Amino acid sequence: MSTNNNNEELNEMAASSQSKQSTSTTTDITTPTTTTTKPAPQSSTQPKMVAAKPSPTSATSTAAAAAAKPSAASPPAKTQPEPPPFEKGLVEQIRSKFGDLVKVVFIKPLRIKILVEPQDIVGVASFLRDSMGFDHAESVGGTDYPKDNQIEVIYHLGSYTREELAAHILWLTTRTDRDDARLPTLINVYKSVEYHERECYEMLGVYFEGHPRNERFLLPEDWADIPPLRKDFRIKGR
């Protein structure tokens, strides 16, 4: 009897142990619940980040540093090309005769431009014809300069007698007051200027003293407006 009781007690203990292990196993495989931790709200007393303002000393240092930097190199100044030897020699002949009375405006291949005062133009033109071979005036033109209150008259001189000057044009120019535009005529030096000077008189209002016919031949006889090639002329209705 005691042996049977002992066996029963052992069997009960074994069954109880198995029951506990089963319960423990069931508990272990149960999905654990997760808990989300919310971040704590920021304290209202937390200091704010403020951008630091540059001090006057810092601004001065920055400006000084910028000024110390070398500026971009400026482009080199344009240099005038060396004038051709032949044209330069012609100008030297004119200067040797008249000196500072003649201003050289430019010297280019086959082209020379000089400027003289009105009272000197007849003497310079006579020298160019008699001593240098510029024996005729091909044309005469004019340019109005309202800002300078002047009108420039240009004589384009050439040569038939000197073969080396055949392709050259010398611009003999002078200027006159726009309000009282008067110049000495060159008709006694170059006969070919007769109609060209008349055209300058008609279109620009330049009166050529000594010219036999300062009169119109292009505009209507009853023309009553200002000379049409002056820059302040306006076509009526526009």
Q: What is the DSSP string of 42-100?
A: PPTTSPPP-PPPPPHHHHHHHHHHHHHSPPPPPPPPPPPPPPPHHHHHHHHHHHHHHGG
Pair type for strands 182-184 and 207-209: parallel
Q: Would you say 145 and 153 are in contact if contact means Cβ atoms under 8 Å apart? A: no
CA dihedral 7, 10, 15, 21 (to 10 degrees): -160
Q: What are the E-state strand segments in 146-181?
A: 150-158, 169-177
Q: Would you say 152 and 145 are in contact if contact means Cβ atoms under 8 Å apart? A: yes
Burial 197-230 (b: 16+ CB within 10 A, else e): bbbbbbbbbbebeebeebeeeeeeeeeeeebebb
Nearest-angstrom CA–CA distance, 142 and 208: 13
Tokens of 106: 């430019």
Q: Would you say 178 and 147 are in contact if contact means Cβ atoms under 8 Å apart? A: no
- Residue at token pair 């020699």: 89
Q: What end-to-end distance do the CA atoms of the chain give, in Å? A: 145
pLDDT tens for the chain, 238 residues long, are 444 455 555 555 655 555 544 444 444 444 444 444 455 555 444 555 555 555 555 555 555 555 555 555 667 767 767 889 999 999 999 999 999 999 999 999 999 999 999 999 999 999 999 999 999 999 999 999 999 999 999 999 999 999 999 999 999 999 999 999 999 999 999 999 999 999 999 999 999 999 999 988 899 988 889 999 999 998 776 5
Q: What is the pLDDT at residue 22?
A: 46
Cα dihedral 52, 55, 61, 67 sign? positive
Fold of 85-209: Beta Polymerase; domain 2 (3.30.460)
Closest CA to 168 of 186, 151, 156, 178: 156
pTM: 0.67
Q: What is the pLDDT at residue 17?
A: 52
How far is C-alpha 115 from the chain's CA centre? 28
Give the count of beta carbons closer than 10 Å to the beta carbon of residue 231: 10
